[in-house]
Structures are given as structure tokens and as C-alpha cells.
Amino acid sequence: SALMDWFKQEADFPDHHKDKPYLQDLFYIRGILRSKMSYVQPWIMSRLENAHLAGTPTDEIKEAARACYKWDDFDEWLTSKEPEAAA
């Protein structure tokens, strides 16, 4: 059926996001934050992507996510890595 074809296409993450191979790491980082903190901004994925595209390696973002236990601490670190902060 068309619904099953659509589902198979959407579920095929690696092929579906082949133009953004770093997304898998960013979803993993979001999972780290969600498991450690009581609050994570709903728009965290766009902020993580902005920081990565501004030149921050995903491994560095992962380490920061592992090291922070409060949203405010991670938010401050992430803000320093986003393009607006670099300007």
C-alpha cells in the first residue's frame, strides 16, 4: 500500500538524511541531554545543528552534553558555539 511505502521511506534514516550525516549524532546528543536533565528546549535540534554547522565537531558537543547536568550550563556553552556568538 502507499502508506507502507511511505513508512518504509521515512523509516530509512540513513538514506533519508544522506545529505546531513551528522544528524544521527545530534539525535544521540539530544538523547543524552534528555536523560540527564529535567528540561531541554523543544528547539534543541536546530541549535545543535547551528553549532555544528558553525564548526563545532559533534564529538565536542557530545562531551559537553555528558559534562553538564543543568540546562543553564549546557545552554550557556551552546550559545558560545552558535554563529551569533562568534560574530
Q: Give the angle subtended at the CA of 64 by the CAs of 61 and 66, to the nearest 5°.
A: 110
Each of the 87 residues of the chain gets a pLDDT tens digit; together they read 677 666 665 555 555 567 889 999 999 999 999 999 988 888 999 999 999 999 999 999 999 999 999 999 999 999 999 887 555
Task: Find out whether 64 and 56 touch, Cβ atoms under 8 Å.
Answer: no
Q: What is d(CA 83, CA 86) in angstroms, rounded to the nearest whole number?
A: 5
3-state secondary structure of 57: coil
What is the pTM for the complete model shown?
0.75
CB-facing half-sphere around the CA of 42: CA atoms within 13 A = 0
Q: Given phi > 0 = left and psi -120 to 50 = alpha, else beta, which region is 55?
A: left
